[in-house]
Amino acid sequence: MIKMIALYKQPKDKKKFDEHYFGTHAPITAKIPGLRKMEVTKITGTPMGGESEYYLLCEMYYDSYEAFKAAMKTSEAKASGKDLMSFAGDIVTLMVGEEVKND
């Protein structure tokens, strides 16, 4: 599968971030047509026990590049992107990737 990955650095205000992320952003994003699965991971630290530079990882799965590209053109995706920039534009890194191994 193809996935879009959003990796967020530690926000200044975690409570505010969580409220917006889970209360507004995730529901808007979940409406994007063609989105097959959305996996959200809260980063809790590093293997050595310290705090990570990162706070949250979201993976959004699509069937193919074509499906992903088509999805990005929808008004739902544009609304999600606009919302993202409004609350996390300065701390988010976006990537597109292809699952090569899953076992």
Which residues are at the interface with its own copies (CB under 8 A)?
Answer: 3-5, 7, 22, 26, 30, 37-48, 52-54, 57, 72, 93-103
Between 18 and 87, CB nearer to its own copies: 18
Cα gap 79→30, rounded to integer Å: 11
**Polymer length of the chain:** 103
Between 44 and 90, CB nearer to its own copies: 44
The count of C-alpha atoms lying within 13 angstroms of the C-alpha of 97, restricted to the half-sphere facing its C-beta, is 12
User: Terminus-to-terminus CA distance in the chain, angstroms?
Assistant: 14
Between 16 and 95, CB nearer to its own copies: 95
Instruction: Give min distance, CB of 26 to its own copies, in A.
Output: 7
Instruction: Give min distance, CB of 5 to its own copies, in A.
Output: 7
Within 10 angstroms of residue 80's Cβ, the number of other Cβ atoms is: 24
Instruction: Give min distance, CB of 2 to its own copies, in A.
Output: 8
Closest CA to 75 of 22, 44, 37, 32: 32
Between 13 and 98, CB nearer to its own copies: 98
